[in-house]
Amino acid sequence: MLPTTILIDDAPRCVVRPTDSKDLNRFIRNGKAFLLAERADGKITYRPANESELEHWRNGLALHEAWGGSEDDFFGLPLPG
């Protein structure tokens, strides 16, 4: 899958690149406490990452690869703000 932005109440929370929809759904289910954080009653949705979110994801991947990690091992990262 392409990098995907997870939104909480339509506000971007993180950008991830799951391997398939099953992986994405597992992340949302298992990461619910992290994703909702301050908004326990928030609504979780997702969409393809936009250009600025893709750039954030690429920068995180570059940092991950700089210390010896591989793209296959990099899932994603929180978005600022």
How does residue 5 score in pLDDT terms, banded at 50, 70 and 90?
very high
Average pLDDT of the chain, as a whole number: 94
C-alpha closest to that of 25 among 40, 4, 11: 4
pLDDT score at 39:
83
Strand partners, 11: 8
Residues 1-18 have a mean pLDDT of: 95
Q: Is the pLDDT confidence value at 37 over 90?
A: no
Tens of pLDDT, residues 50-61: 999 999 999 999
Given a cut of 80, is residue 67 above it in pLDDT? yes
